[in-house]
Amino acid sequence: MPTDSEEGRRIAVSLVSRAGHSPNSAQVAKAIIATLQDMDIALSPIIGRKGVVALYRRSLHLCESAYPDLIGALDSTPEHVDFSRLESLLQQQTPNDALCLGNHLLETLYQLLSTLIGVSLTERLLGAVFEAPLSALPAQDTSP
In the complex, the smallest distance separating the C-beta of residue 12 from other proteins, rounded to whole angstroms, is 25
In the complex, the smallest distance separating the C-beta of residue 116 from other proteins, rounded to whole angstroms, is 5
CA 108 distance to own-chain centroid: 7
DSSP structural state of residue 93: S
Closer CB to other proteins, residue 27 or residue 44?
44
Q: Footprint of other proteins on this chain (CB under 8 A)?
A: 44-51, 116-118, 120-121, 124-125
Say if residues 110 and 10 touch (Cβ distance below 8 Å). Answer: no
The alpha helices in the chain, defined as continuous H runs, are 6-19, 25-63, 84-91, 95-117, 119-126
Closer CB to other proteins, residue 47 or residue 66?
47
- How far is the C-alpha of 13 from the C-alpha of 49, rounded, in Å? 27
In the complex, the smallest distance separating the C-beta of residue 99 from other proteins, rounded to whole angstroms, is 29
Closer CB to other proteins, residue 88 or residue 120?
120
